[in-house]
Amino acid sequence: MQAEIRTGRVGDWIDVDMPSGAARRHGQILEVLGAEEHKHYRVRWTDDRESIFFPSEGTHIRKAERETDD
């Protein structure tokens, strides 16, 4: 069964479980790309590298804390 992957927004965090057993990757979404049914992201990883990332199984998206207008 394939896990549902929630759509991320700019500022959200991505955690990726590595299938090879390597350490989990973490990055922040800088830009949302692609059509609604095929979203992918420009991500800055915690090692300061940037890449285009296509979510797959093992991807977890965490909402960034957002400021409110209260």
The confidence score (pLDDT) of residue 2 equals 43
Quick one: pLDDT at residue 69?
54
pLDDT value, residue 50: 98
Cβ neighbours around 16 below 10 Å, total = 18
Q: Which two tokens stand for residue 67?
A: 């400021």
Q: What is the pLDDT of residues 5-58, one digit of tens each?
A: 578 999 999 999 988 878 889 999 999 998 877 889 999 999 999 999 999 888
User: What is the pLDDT, as a whole number, of residue 3?
Assistant: 46
Domain positions in the chain: 13-62
CA dist 58 → 3, 65, 66, 68, 69 (Å): 8, 22, 25, 31, 34
| The pLDDT of residue 66 | 66
